[in-house]
Amino acid sequence: MAAAENGAVGHTAADTRESRREKKAMSEWETLRQECLHCRACTLAETRTNVVFGVGREDAEVMFIGEAPGANEDMQGEPFVGRGGKLLDDMLKMIGLDRSRIYITNSVKCRPPANRDPMNTEKDACKGFLQRQRELMKPKIIVCLGRISAMEIIRPDFKISQEHGQFYEKDGCLMTALYHPAALLRSPGRKPETFEDLKKLQAKIKEVCTRTELEF
């Protein structure tokens, strides 16, 4: 009886500690979100409609990182909406994923005017936000969407035309890059090789992730 009671007490104490950790993480995420939403560290603050912080599971094992918001994302405040977002959703569905099982964000949180490439000053202004997102999430796999994200996250001289779908280990995390959905819309001929890259990603998720369910 005493052993059972001690077990119950131990179980309750463990649950309490876990609950405290979850509440602390939620508080840290919300603090970071608010800092990002009110950021005025670069000139993009003058032209944006919305800051695009990120969406999905905040304890995800798989983190997708794009380049910067486009016009639709700027209007809605969510990454990868519109035609590119629909294609990304289709890509995720091919390997049994959806947005509720992963986390999606961008290297740069505000839209550059006319969808130009982000300037170095703009990327530098956002580095801290992305780094803190990664620290809070501790993903096992990072998927860079597009060349700019891959050059920022994996390696400055990353060549996406040659290295897409390959995995690299850096900072205790596996990293890979896929063609950006917008690039696939412009060049549909790249879709077959991207499908092969997605199958590699699916296999890697099965290998290293313990909480990411794949459903078909």
Residue 107 lies in a domain: yes
Does residue 188 fall inside a structural domain? yes
Instruction: Write down the pLDDT at residue 5.
Output: 53
Mean pLDDT, rounded, for 142-162: 96
Q: Could you read off the pLDDT of 155-187 as tens digits, one per residue? A: 999 999 999 999 999 989 999 999 999 999 999
Q: Which residue range is the domain that position 171 belongs to?
A: 39-208
Q: How many domains does the chain have?
A: 1
Q: Would you say residue 13 lies in a domain?
A: no
What is the pLDDT, as a whole number, of residue 109? 98
Asked whether residue 108 is assigned to any structural domain, the reply reads: yes
Domain annotation covers residue 1: no
pTM, to two decimals? 0.89
Computed over every residue of the chain, the mean pLDDT equals 92
CATH of the domain at 178: 3.40.470.10
User: 79 lies in a domain?
Assistant: yes
Closest CA to 50 of 38, 59, 62: 38
- Has residue 80 been placed in a domain? yes
Angstrom distance (rounded) from CA 106 to CA 56: 13
Whether residue 23 has pLDDT greater than 80: no
Alpha helices in the chain (DSSP H): 2-37, 44-47, 71-76, 82-94, 120-137, 147-153, 160-163, 181-186, 191-208
The pair phi, psi for residue 25, each rounded to 5°, is -65, -45
